[in-house]
Structure 1
Amino acid sequence: MEPTFLKSILDNDFYKFTMQHAVIKLFPRAKVRYAFINRGKHIFPPGFAGLLQKSVDAMANLRLTKDEKHYLYHYCSYLDPTYLDFLQGYSYDPSEVHITQEGSEIKVVIEGFWYRTILWEVPLMALISELFYKTNLLIRLNDEAIKSLTKSKIDNYNSLGVSILEFGTRRRHSYDVQVLVNETLNTFGSQSFIGTSNVHFAMVNNKRPLGTHAHEWFMFHAAQFGFKMANLISLENWTKVYGGDLGIVLTDTYTTEIFFNQFDKKCSKLFDGVRHDSGDPIEFAQKVITHYTKMGIDPKSKAIVFSDSLNFEKVKAISDFCKDKIKMSFGIGTNFTNDVGLPAMNMVIKLNDTKPDNMHWQGVVKLSDEKNKNTGTPEMIALAKQVLGIK
């Protein structure tokens, strides 16, 4: 059995690069640990860790090409030229990734400087997913069936008149399936498909990459500045780096309720909108509309990016509710890139521990709007809830 090899250093979600740029500027000495979580209790066959290790080792050979650098310079003017020079000289260091296997369980831990290790999460998950299907000899739908299925989906979204994004890199069935999906979306989605979070595929299709930041941005800030100040300082630091660019905010690291209590008028006006990633999407939309109205801001001038396990039925229900109330777009992941006639994997790689400059190692916490998406030790979760006044 052959390992799987990535073809481009840009085969990653855009928010990893935007956060890396910000970390280099603000937290160059911070260290972190990430860990793989097998939520779906998937069974990995003997030798899986060895194949994954070979795939990881090969990533050390990836480099940003001149054409890729030119693409980023042209489409992402808010990324400093010094960062693009850094990225051109950057290479993955496989010694930062520790992979072991006991029976059918694998353990993956990433550790090192945050500015370096931040790029591992998404491609590692993509490799784990592709190798899982390959090593278990699971047969997917053929290419024509995948293209036909994707076309029927984008035809439905076209009929709704909504904006659709492809967010499916981390849990894709394979690179080849993501190629098929993006080709089909670009061919038939002119009315609704606006692009992808995958920088490599955005470049291939001559589109602007899409994304802003992830939960780890807020989780790190909580470790350095405390739970009560995490949201506010996270937003201030994001503004310090990007001004008014990349203005979609993730709200649910410490519950949306807490976030909106701290999302003051200045921030509400400055940022373009918010991203929904957990909890009931209709309830979330109503909270967002109510918040902007309370701030004296026309909700129709703002946007929500919905991105939580979406399919056509969910998108239609959300669209029906939000229409003529607030702008909206929909980031669809697994339903595009891993709907191939096999059960999709349920896994994550999450930030576990941080070591801010001149501080000790400490665990981090995420308090999602869905209880089963909380991460952190029970003690740290309890502490965060106590500090934030969450019952």
Structure 2
Amino acid sequence: MLTSLLDNDFYKITMQNAVIKRFPYAQARYAFINRGEHHFPDGFGAVLRREVDKMAALRLSNEEKRYLQVTCPYLDPTYLDFLAGFHYDPSEVIIEQQGHDLSVVIEGPWYRTILWEVPLMALISELWYQLRDVIVSREDDALVEQRTRDKIELYRRLGLKIAEFGTRRRFSFAIHDRVVGALHHYGGEAFSGTSNVLLAMRHGVKPIGTHAHEWFMFHGARFGFKMANSLALEHWVDVYRGDLGIALTDTFTSRVFFDSFDKKFAKLFDGVRHDSGDPIDFAAATIAHYERLGIDPLSKTIIFSDALTPEKVERIQTFCQNRIGMAFGIGTNFTNDVGVEPMNMVIKMVEARPEGQDWLPVIKLSDVPDKHTGDQDMISLAKRVLSLSRASV
């Protein structure tokens, strides 16, 4: 089902490069989290196992390597040579099915295992429909391009910048490809690119992404919760020297992040990404933070990327217009708007083993308490260390 090493989100590649540079001996463990309590059909795990085993044959082509060289000059030749020699090791993925319950665990060197999350989720999502004989009606199939066109033309009329972030929970690769094609064809300047590197290359658009929660989660395990945000940002700057300058805010709540996002980082980074909690509250807090630091919010950008719909985007634009720069990353609403229910699932890093240390649980303290992930004892410890009251988190 997967045909290219680049059928992955761009921030997995940028983080892999950073991990190789900063933490080459770190180990990581990831787990599938079935938030929607989906019941998997008999044999699902076996089919997924076969697809994962096939991924061992994927290699970066010469054409793909040249594309990265030209498009991403901040990825140095040593990393691109590494990626050209990289292949997935299916033994790093343990898949078990008990009745209708599916367990997927990934374990191994962080610089290798970091690439599994997104393609595995894409496989699980596509197989979820295939093995349950869920098909797109002819009417819905015929409307894929039209629905995409209607959305991007609305955003274009509003003068917004929109990126596509929908690899994980897409209905299928074929639908995803058609959606990106329609966005490129009808979006004009409103369409800024896609997180999927293969489709960015195929359609001649920009690959979009910087880093994810796991970058900060690992720093929490390695350096402690108090230092996690500031050192994660510092190490990112060390690797990319001003490129890829959007900072993710909500690994240990945005309130804690802004305590570390001092004038140095606020000036160095082009902006921040919102991924949980009320977007209007977040925008107000971000604007106030920049103003306290004497920085014009209009010189910075918020990337909104949390379960966006056209209605939600319009509400955010109304609030942010002429107050702060804004752009939007839209995922499932683009790539799985075909008349079926999208899956509710994630794959998250759950443990890390920094060099010279034992395995430690890693956690995420979302701006929405129901989305906290990780070991409950470690979550409680982090709340105490970070002075987060029960009422606020």
**TM range, normalised to the smaller chain?**
over 0.9
- For residues 28 and 218 of structure 1, the distance between their equivalents in structure 2, rounded to whole angstroms, comes to 16
Return the offset for 1:208. 2.1
For residues 186-265 of structure 1, the aligned pairs below 5 Å read 186-265=184-263
Aligned residue among 125, 150, 153 for 2:151: 153
- For residues 335 and 65 of structure 1, the distance between their equivalents in structure 2, rounded to whole angstroms, comes to 31
- For residues 134 and 328 of structure 1, the distance between their equivalents in structure 2, rounded to whole angstroms, comes to 37
Gaps in structure 1 of 5+ consecutive residues:
none
- For residues 208 and 150 of structure 1, the distance between their equivalents in structure 2, rounded to whole angstroms, comes to 18
1:74 match:
70
3-state SS of 2:272 partner: strand
- For residues 107 and 376 of structure 2, the distance between their equivalents in structure 1, rounded to whole angstroms, comes to 22
Q: Which residue identity does 2:339 align to in structure 1?
A: G
Q: Which residue identity does 2:26 align to in structure 1?
A: A
- For residues 151 and 206 of structure 2, the distance between their equivalents in structure 1, rounded to whole angstroms, comes to 22
Return the offset for 1:144. 1.9
- For residues 310 and 384 of structure 2, the distance between their equivalents in structure 1, rounded to whole angstroms, comes to 39
2:27 match:
31
Return the offset for 1:210. 0.6
1:318 match:
316
For residues 281-360 of structure 1, the aligned pairs below 5 Å read 281-360=279-358
Return the offset for 1:191. 3.7
Contact 2:164 2:334 in 1 (8 A): yes
3-state SS of 2:94 partner: strand
Aligned residue among 36, 49, 53 for 2:49: 53
Q: Which residue identity does 1:190 align to in structure 2?
A: G
Contact 2:184 2:205 in 1 (8 A): no
3-state SS of 2:188 partner: coil
- For residues 371 and 207 of structure 1, the distance between their equivalents in structure 2, rounded to whole angstroms, comes to 36
CA-based RMSD of the aligned residues comes to 0.7
- For residues 157 and 41 of structure 1, the distance between their equivalents in structure 2, rounded to whole angstroms, comes to 34
The TM-score, its normalising length taken from structure 2, stands at 0.98
1:377 match:
375
- For residues 153 and 222 of structure 1, the distance between their equivalents in structure 2, rounded to whole angstroms, comes to 39
Name the stretch that deviates more: 136-145 or 19-28: 136-145
3-state SS of 2:31 partner: strand
- For residues 206 and 184 of structure 1, the distance between their equivalents in structure 2, rounded to whole angstroms, comes to 13
For residues 82-161 of structure 1, the aligned pairs below 5 Å read 82-142=78-138, 143-161=141-159
Q: Which residue identity does 1:58 align to in structure 2?
A: K
Return the offset for 1:262. 1.2
3-state SS of 1:161 partner: coil
- For residues 116 and 367 of structure 1, the distance between their equivalents in structure 2, rounded to whole angstroms, comes to 25
Q: Which residue identity does 2:81 align to in structure 1?
A: D
Summarize deviations over 1:303-351 as a string: whole Å, max 9, x none.
0000000000000000111011111100000000011100110000000
Return the offset for 1:59. 0.4
- For residues 49 and 364 of structure 1, the distance between their equivalents in structure 2, rounded to whole angstroms, comes to 26
Summarize deviations over 1:121-167 as a string: whole Å, max 9, x none.
00000000000000001111443211111111112111211000000
Return the offset for 1:292. 0.4
3-state SS of 1:176 partner: helix
Gaps in structure 2 of 5+ consecutive residues:
none
- For residues 153 and 236 of structure 1, the distance between their equivalents in structure 2, rounded to whole angstroms, comes to 37
- For residues 327 and 310 of structure 1, the distance between their equivalents in structure 2, rounded to whole angstroms, comes to 17
Contact 2:350 2:374 in 1 (8 A): yes
Return the offset for 1:206. 1.4
Q: Does 1:43 align with 2:36?
A: no
- For residues 202 and 325 of structure 2, the distance between their equivalents in structure 1, rounded to whole angstroms, comes to 28
The TM-score, its normalising length taken from structure 1, stands at 0.98
3-state SS of 2:143 partner: helix
- For residues 184 and 234 of structure 2, the distance between their equivalents in structure 1, rounded to whole angstroms, comes to 36
Return the offset for 1:12. 0.3
Name the stretch that deviates more: 262-271 or 142-151: 142-151
Q: Which residue identity does 2:341 align to in structure 1?
A: P
Summarize deviations over 1:13-37 as a string: whole Å, max 9, x none.
0000000000001101100100000
